[in-house]
Structure 1
Amino acid sequence: MRLHRARTAFDCHNLLGEGCNWNALDQNLWWTDIEGKCVFRWDDNGKVAAVRQLPSRAAFAFPRARGGFVLGFPKSIVITDPTFTDFLQVAEIEPHLAQTRVNDAAIDPYGGIVLGTYNEQSREPVGGVYRIAPNGDVVTLFSGVAAANGLAFSPDGRIMYFTDTTEGTIRRFALAPQFGGLAELGPLAGPNIAPGSPDGATVDIEGGYWSARLRGGCVVRIDGNGHLTDRVDIPSMAPTCVALGGEDLRTLFITSRRTRQSTDELLRFPESGNLFRVEVGQAGGPPFSCRV
């Protein structure tokens, strides 16, 4: 197994950094601080070019092919302009469940967004996973979810990955053309494949699945046969999300959080909440374009 060590790329001390994604259009990394109600942009020269305050907590900020962004607010999906000034709701998510909020998400191969919810009050699996089609239609993919995470797609668009952090198994689904349906395949990996619990994820051009391991202090790469090939240690016990980007798409970016950590943990890992980076051997796949 190849071993790597990530370092701080930006000292941002996010309360809950999440949703990092590499935008091929502007060659920037975008991510949010959910609890800080902010969105960040980091360019390939290592400069944080934009920090915008938001009116609500946002789990992700995906650049749109037509300009502006799609944001995942706790109970809604909204479109905003490039300055994050005007907001238009395009979908409502679980309005009947006061205890859940929008959590992890990924742009799918057909321009939609697949997202899952998180139960903020208990581990009861009352949430679900949904697809927002480019025209704004909402389709329920499945339910019985407590903490949706690990959503990602293979480079050829044929496989969708998902995990419920409270359970820990990384699941695989065969994706029908034009997102015509899902068929569950065997799991990629069980909950004990690496330290901690699976959080955000991305897939490289070779089909390797990079999984942030919350409370495990690392990110691991799992190949298509379910074997560990790489481990990236970070100076925090709480990595939350990952993205491959940079000029050659071989830079692994990692967000993290400071919330829900003890005083002792923060003293041991003062860089918690920062954005981390490390060069890896596998490149990211071509980013899918958001057409919502």
Structure 2
Amino acid sequence: MADYELIWDSRCSVAESPVWDAANRRLLFCDINGRRINALRIDSGERESWDFPDVVGSFGLCASGRFVVAQRHHVVLFDPGSGELTDLTDRVDEPPTNRLNDGKVGPDGAFWIGSMDENTPRQKTASLYRVTPDGRITREESGYAVSNGLAWSPDGRVMYHSDSTAGIIEAWDFDPATGGRSRHRIVARLKNEDGRPDGAATDMDGNYWSAGPSAGCLNCFSPDGTLLHKQAFAVPGPTMPCFADDWLYVTSLREGKPEDILSAFPTLGGLFRTTAPSAGAPVGIFADT
């Protein structure tokens, strides 16, 4: 097991969507059900948080300095300086029991965001969307139960995505100029004991790092789907890795864990880090200016 250090004992219900804001030297992450985005300045340890009127499925950085944020059923722009919140899209055309989930800004400057079914058992009613700075939202794919695991290769020419319920990681060739995709393929298939795919990140070697909360691990795959590393995590329930300078940060969840697990691992829902084995792929910036 890598030597993970607890950085923020935030005890989020579901800590997710860690984003490295290199310009401001801060690591950002959200508490989905807590309706909050947290920021940690990694040099000083200073912390800051912003609360939202609805769940925060995920978010990304904007060229304007704002955040592009997925709320339950639509996408907004948020100014962390003024606190101003602006609707970017109309309500997505989804069943009422679905919500927006994992999202990242792509090399094309658009915000890619998936949805998920909150029912149990989950149904394949979720989709993957592309949101442009003018507020246009396009359904790109459908037929998922839990859209997750968005990441791009360091050159921006391969796009990765997963369905957590189906246990698949898929990829397309990607055009960073237009957002166009081609040559779909399945990269990996994972069962509960393998670590079903949750949030993900890519490194500068082109490898895809997938959080596997069902097995308490991180799985590292080569671009062709070869499992290179399986890294045990500090607590059950890692949700997403994020590369930041010389560190690999990982968020975690408390939601759904029984009392004996919460007693054994009281810091579930926190933010952890370990030394990064590689530098991370570039962070996408939403092209709103």
What is the DSSP-based 3-state SS (H/G/I as helix, E as strand, rest coil) of the residue aligned with 1:91?
coil
Question: Whole-Å Cα distance in 1 between the matches of residues 235 and 195 of structure 2?
Answer: 12
The answer on whether the counterparts of 2:108 and 2:177 sit within 8 Å (CA) in structure 1 is yes
Moved over 6 A (4+): none
Q: CA deviation at 1:190?
A: 1.4
Question: Whole-Å Cα distance in 1 between the matches of residues 243 and 168 of structure 2?
Answer: 22
Corresponding residue number in structure 2 for 1:253: 249
Question: Whole-Å Cα distance in 2 between the matches of residues 162 and 259 of structure 1?
Answer: 23
Matches within 5 A, 1:1-292: 4-45=2-43, 47-83=45-81, 85-122=83-120, 123-192=122-191, 195-245=194-244, 249-292=245-288
Amino acid in structure 2 at the alignment position of 1:71: V
Deviates more, 1:265-274 or 1:138-147: 265-274
The answer on whether the counterparts of 1:93 and 1:102 sit within 8 Å (CA) in structure 2 is no
Question: Whole-Å Cα distance in 1 between the matches of residues 190 and 102 of structure 2?
Answer: 18
What is the DSSP-based 3-state SS (H/G/I as helix, E as strand, rest coil) of the residue aligned with 2:186?
coil
Change (3 A) 1:85 1:198: same
Change (3 A) 1:190 1:46: farther
Amino acid in structure 2 at the alignment position of 1:139: T
TM normalised by structure 2 equals: 0.93
The answer on whether the counterparts of 2:243 and 2:276 sit within 8 Å (CA) in structure 1 is no
Change (3 A) 1:39 1:177: closer
Amino acid in structure 2 at the alignment position of 1:261: K
What is the DSSP-based 3-state SS (H/G/I as helix, E as strand, rest coil) of the residue aligned with 2:266?
coil
The answer on whether the counterparts of 1:243 and 1:253 sit within 8 Å (CA) in structure 2 is yes
Q: CA deviation at 1:286?
A: 2.2
Deviations 1:13-57 (A, max 9, x none): 111101111012212111110111111001222614201222211
What is the DSSP-based 3-state SS (H/G/I as helix, E as strand, rest coil) of the residue aligned with 1:265?
helix
Any unmatched runs of 5+ in structure 1? none
Q: CA deviation at 1:193?
A: 9.6
The answer on whether the counterparts of 2:89 and 2:137 sit within 8 Å (CA) in structure 1 is yes
Amino acid in structure 2 at the alignment position of 1:216: A
Amino acid in structure 1 at the alignment position of 2:51: Q
Deviations 1:237-261 (A, max 9, x none): 111111100xxx2311111111111
Question: Whole-Å Cα distance in 1 between the matches of residues 214 and 192 of structure 2?
Answer: 14
Question: Whole-Å Cα distance in 2 between the matches of residues 34 and 192 of structure 1?
Answer: 25
Provide the aligned C-alpha RMSD in A. Answer: 1.8
Deviates more, 1:46-55 or 1:5-14: 46-55
Q: CA deviation at 1:266?
A: 1.1
Q: CA deviation at 1:73?
A: 0.3
Q: CA deviation at 1:213?
A: 0.5
Question: Whole-Å Cα distance in 2 between the matches of residues 177 and 126 of structure 1?
Answer: 28
Q: CA deviation at 1:7?
A: 2.2
What is the DSSP-based 3-state SS (H/G/I as helix, E as strand, rest coil) of the residue aligned with 2:177?
helix
Amino acid in structure 2 at the alignment position of 1:239: P
Report sequence identity in percent: 29
Question: Whole-Å Cα distance in 1 between the matches of residues 224 and 192 of structure 2?
Answer: 13
Question: Whole-Å Cα distance in 1 between the matches of residues 53 and 152 of structure 2?
Answer: 30
Deviations 1:163-212 (A, max 9, x none): 11001111011113523522243322111496221100000011010100
Amino acid in structure 2 at the alignment position of 1:160: M
Q: CA deviation at 1:264?
A: 1.5
